[in-house]
Amino acid sequence: MFKHKAKDGTRNLCGKKVMMLRKALVPKVSQRQLAEMIQLHGVDIDKTAVKRIENGERYVTDIELKILSDIFEVTSDYFLKE
């Protein structure tokens, strides 16, 4: 069965960038806090899901990508460029 993966074997293109942007926020934001920020935008997500996104173990929906773009004030294209 074919599985969709990025060239590096991860299940998303944005995970590393999400982690980098999260760690660069001032004051510091934990994975749990980022999950709470996403929840405020109406998506049910928890700390474990954020961890799996950052590690490339979980796919990211277009809705989640839009919310992450809004939170980090970047374009969705930023997350999609390899």
Q: For the chain, 82 residues long, give each residue's pLDDT as a single digit of tens.
A: 677 888 899 999 999 999 999 999 999 999 999 999 999 999 999 999 999 999 999 999 999 999 999 999 999 999 999 7
CA pair distance 19, 28, nearest whole angstrom: 12
For residue 70, being part of any structural domain is answered with: yes
Range of the domain at 62: 15-80
Residue the block writes with tokens 């599985």: 3
Residue 43 lies inside a defined structural domain of this protein: yes
DSSP 73: T
Count: domains in the chain: 1
CATH number at residue 70: 1.10.260.40
Rounded to the nearest 5°, which phi and psi values hold at 42? 95, 10
pLDDT confidence of residue 82: 79
Residue 65 belongs to a domain: yes
Q: Is residue 4 part of a domain?
A: no
Q: How far apart are CA 74 and CA 9, in angstroms?
A: 24
- Give a yes or no: residue 9 inside a domain: no
Phi/psi region, residue 56 (left: phi>0; alpha: psi -120 to 50; beta: rest), is left
In a domain, 75, yes or no: yes
In a domain, 1, yes or no: no
